[in-house]
Amino acid sequence: DVKVTQSSRYLVKRTGEKVFLECVQDMDHENMFWYRQDPGLGLRLIYFSYDVKMKEKGDIPEGYSVSREKKERFSLILESASTNQTSMYLCASRNSGSNTEAFFGQGTRLTVV
């Protein structure tokens, strides 16, 4: 069974902490994505990566950075967590090509207090 695995289902962090969200896929996909999901706002793309060490900003990159040192792993970093980053974070991976589907992890519910 193909899988995208996020390291935590729930996280509680303090304001100002550096936070790492990890995502691993076992499908050898070129592309990986980080989204955040908030009520009424749908999915918003934070960053995506189309190859190892390659990344592009999405729609809301401010306050976030990413790392992709290996093809299977894509990390989202909150440099200094703030309360407005409390959200559901979803990782996804996908092969290139317009007709391929994306596979999603189960999500990480992050609360910043």
Partner 1 sequence: GDSVTQMEGPVTLSEEAFLTINCTYTATGYPSLFWYVQYPGEGLQLLLKATKADDKGSNKGFEATYRKETTSFHLEKGSVQVSDSAVYFCALGAYNQGGKLIFGQGTELSVKP
**Residues in touch with partner 1 (CB under 8 A):** 4, 30-31, 33, 40-43, 45, 48, 50, 90, 92, 94-102, 104-107
Cβ-Cβ contacts under 8 Å for 41 (sequence gap 6 or more) = none
In angstroms, rounded to a whole number, what is the distance separating the alpha carbons of residues 94 and 50? Answer: 9
The residues facing 84 across adjacent strands are: none
Structure tokens at 85: 């980053």
Name the residue nearer to partner 1 (CB basis): 14 or 53: 53
Minimum Å distance from CB 15 to partner 1?
26
Name the residue nearer to partner 1 (CB basis): 21 or 105: 105
Name the residue nearer to partner 1 (CB basis): 54 or 113: 54
Q: Identify whether the C-beta of residue 6 lies closer than 8 Å to the C-beta of residue 93.
A: no
Minimum Å distance from CB 65 to partner 1?
19
In angstroms, rounded to a whole number, what is the distance separating the alpha carbons of residues 13 and 33? Answer: 22
Minimum Å distance from CB 107 to partner 1?
5
